[in-house]
Structure 1
Amino acid sequence: MVGTEFDFEAAARGMNTSHDLVLIATDQVPRRRLQRLVAGLARSLDLAASRRPVSLVLLGGIAASDRIELERYARILPIASSTPDIAEIEEAVAVLVPLKLPNADLIHGRDPINEVMAVLGPLKATSDHIALINAAADGPHAVRETLRRYANTGAGWTDEVEDNDE
């Protein structure tokens, strides 16, 4: 930070859409010293007007009171073991890893109009079906109006209003 050095075991910064500053500390660092380091880093980031979030990966156990103090300055990602395996590390830092989103077609599904046409089949789709499907593209009001006209036609009714003022 602007020429200041901090004595952490390791540090990494996020790339692309992640702006996190990730610090690594072991249980070999005295907790008071670690608290001062993290607090000093947080103050330096504030003075530099940085909006970079800080995450601290802690290897080894941590007392609840120490964790509460550190959480004032950073997101704490504890790993119970001093010598973790890959699975423990991946689990602890999972919140820092971007989500892998499924394919957009799976999220939004297929086009409903095409799905209806596929179920009806080209030979079974009547002009009335097509009219309803086309109305669906214009929303529920258009579908209601198309159904009303369909029912009126089937009942022999017209939309014309009779004039009984004779």
Structure 2
Amino acid sequence: MTSVQEVLTVLEQAGFERLPKPLTVVGAEFDFEAAASGTHTSHDLVLVATDQVPRKRLQRLVAGLARSLDLAASRRPVSLVLIGGATSSDRMELERYARVLPIASATPDIAEIEEAVAVLLPLKLPNAELVHGRDPINEVMGALGPSNRTPDHIALITAAADGTDAVREALRQYANDGAGWTDQIENVDE
């Protein structure tokens, strides 16, 4: 499988649709090595080129495509995956018309491709349990064990579900009970 095919495979797995060659926009044909169009959440037009294409030709192709998209009143962002890298001056010229996603290697592996096109791929979120951990109330109950759970523990744990003010009030009540104090204010007239 060629590097261009591998880039297309990564894009297709992310929901992009491969476009036929040559790419045709407003009747004009553009002979990029490959192109894909975003579907669903992404509307990017992704072009794929290698270092085998002379840079001046690539610059003319990208500039012509940009003009054709303007004529068609297209709002699609254009990204160019450039396999084999580019000099800074070539890249600056290309960036006038498209977001350039360079891949330095002429024969990249999948990880390099995914890193280069990461801005086009959906986010991979970690498992919610790993991010947020387990339920803290269940963790405390498990740490206490069934034999160590007193009514005071249960009151504090239950208050935790209602927030910090509820815990503060439960702790105040616990301390008052331990000291033998009540919440009633004594009426002292003298």
TM-score tier (shorter): 0.7 to 0.9
Choose from 133, 142, 145 the match for 1:109. 133
Q: Could you say which residue in structure 2 is the equivalent of 1:86?
A: 109
Q: Is the alpha carbon distance of 1:74 and 1:126 closer, same or farther for their aligned partners in structure 2, counting shifts above 3 Å?
A: same
Q: Residues of 1 paired with 2:85 and 2:151: CA distance?
A: 72
Question: How do 1:1-166 residues align onto structure 2 when only pairs under 5 Å count?
Answer: 1-82=25-106, 84-87=107-110, 88-165=112-189
TM superposition shift of 1:49: 4.1
Aligned residues: CA RMSD:
2.2
Q: Which ranges of structure 2 fall in alignment gaps of 5 or more residues?
A: 1-24
Q: Residues of 1 paired with 2:145 and 2:171: CA distance?
A: 21
Corresponding pairs, count: 165
Instruction: Report which stretch shifted further, 149-158 or 28-37.
Output: 28-37
Instruction: Report which stretch shifted further, 42-51 or 120-129.
Output: 42-51
With the length of structure 2 as denominator, give the TM-score of the two structures: 0.75
Q: Is the alpha carbon distance of 1:69 and 1:100 closer, same or farther for their aligned partners in structure 2, counting shifts above 3 Å?
A: same
TM superposition shift of 1:52: 2.6
Q: Is the alpha carbon distance of 1:129 and 1:26 closer, same or farther for their aligned partners in structure 2, counting shifts above 3 Å?
A: same
Instruction: Report which stretch shifted further, 33-42 or 114-123.
Output: 33-42
Instruction: Report which stretch shifted further, 28-37 or 133-142.
Output: 28-37
Q: Residues of 1 paired with 2:71 and 2:90: CA distance?
A: 25
2:177 is paired with a residue whose SS is: helix
Q: Which ranges of structure 1 fall in alignment gaps of 5 or more residues?
A: none
**Match for 2:189: what amino acid?**
D
Q: Is the alpha carbon distance of 1:137 and 1:51 closer, same or farther for their aligned partners in structure 2, counting shifts above 3 Å?
A: farther
Percent identity, aligned pairs only, is 78
TM superposition shift of 1:119: 0.5
